[in-house]
Structure 1
């Protein structure tokens, strides 16, 4: 049963992201902004930070491919960026001590890299014609604020869950 907890959690977060977008009002706080939840990606980064590189990158590749298949017309953007950014965050946190504060900051850095990477890829293949400053104001800042708030709420439970998972893996 313990083997299914992580895949079920990630699948739940995958579905929750689309539901969150569906029920979030278009004009929140009187402004038209794009808020993109990255609950799944944040939890994948926490998995990479607190459990290990191997599991983090494997789950990131699987759910990146699933994200591409379900939501994106072009297969490969998230399939490449999820594991790549997870690996970069893993390498970054080998330099710093992995605690809640560094994990929070690293997840915001990872979300920033993901958002800029997706924007640049879409800009290069002419899916969007939005200039970079328009992207920053319309999507980047609101997305970063939303995910910072959610990560503050979920950071401790995720850390606890992944540390328990790591203990269970070591006990086997």
Structure 2
């Protein structure tokens, strides 16, 4: 049963993101703001921080591909960015202490990298016509605020769950 807990958690976060977008009020951050929840990615970053690089990158690649297949017309953006940012976060965590405050800050940094990376890829292939400053004002800041609130709420339960998972992996 414990082997299915992580995939079910990430599948729940994957579905919860789309439910949040569908049922949240459009004017939450003001008129014409774009809010992108990255609850799944925040969970993947916490997995990378508290369990390890190998598990984080594997789950990031699987769910990045799933994200591309379900939501994006171009397969490869999230398949590349999810594992790459998880790898960067694992390298950052070799330098930093592993505690909840650092995990919060590093996760927000990872989400910021994801947002900028997706914007740059979309801008490069002419999917979006937003200039960078409009992107920052209309999407980047509201997205970071929403995901910061989510990490504040779910960060400690994620930390506890992933620390227990790491202990059970070491015991095997």
Q: What TM-score comes out, normalization by structure 1 length?
A: 0.98
CA distance in 2, matches of 1:3, 1:102: 27
For structure 1, the 5+ residue unaligned runs are none
Mapping of 1:21-170 within 5 angstroms?
Answer: 21-170=21-170
Deviation track 1:94-147 (CA, whole Å, cap 9, x = no partner) reads: 001111011000000000000000000000000001000000001000000000
Q: For the residues of structure 1 that align with 2:30 and 2:122, how far apart are their CA atoms?
A: 27
1:18 maps onto 2:8 in alignment: no
- Name the SS of the counterpart of 1:28 in structure 2: coil
CA–CA distance in 1 between the matches of 2:113 and 2:29? 26
Deviation at 1:29, TM superposition (A): 4.7
Change in Cα spacing, 1:74 to 1:137, as seen in structure 2 (3 Å) is same
Taking the aligned partners of 1:59 and 1:128, their CA distance within structure 2 comes to 28
Question: CA offset at residue 5 of structure 1?
Answer: 0.1
Distance 1:50 1:29, change over 3 A: closer
| Distance of 1:30 and 1:91 partners within structure 2 | 37
After TM superposition, which residue ranges in structure 1, 4 or more long, deviate above 3 angstroms? none
Compute the TM-score of the two structures, normalised by the length of structure 2: 0.98
Q: CA deviation at 1:32?
A: 2.2
C-alpha separation between the residues in 1 aligned to 2:24 and 2:134? Answer: 21
Q: Secondary structure at the match of 2:129?
A: coil
* CA root-mean-square deviation: 0.7
Deviation of the 1:170 alpha carbon: 1.3
Alpha-carbon contact 2:51-2:162 (below 8 Å) kept: yes
Matched pairs, number: 172
SS in 1 for 2:98: coil
CA–CA separation in structure 1 for the residues paired with 2:13 and 2:96: 28
* C-alpha separation in 1, matches of 2:143 and 2:110: 12
Contact 2:29-2:142 within 8 A present in 1 as well: no
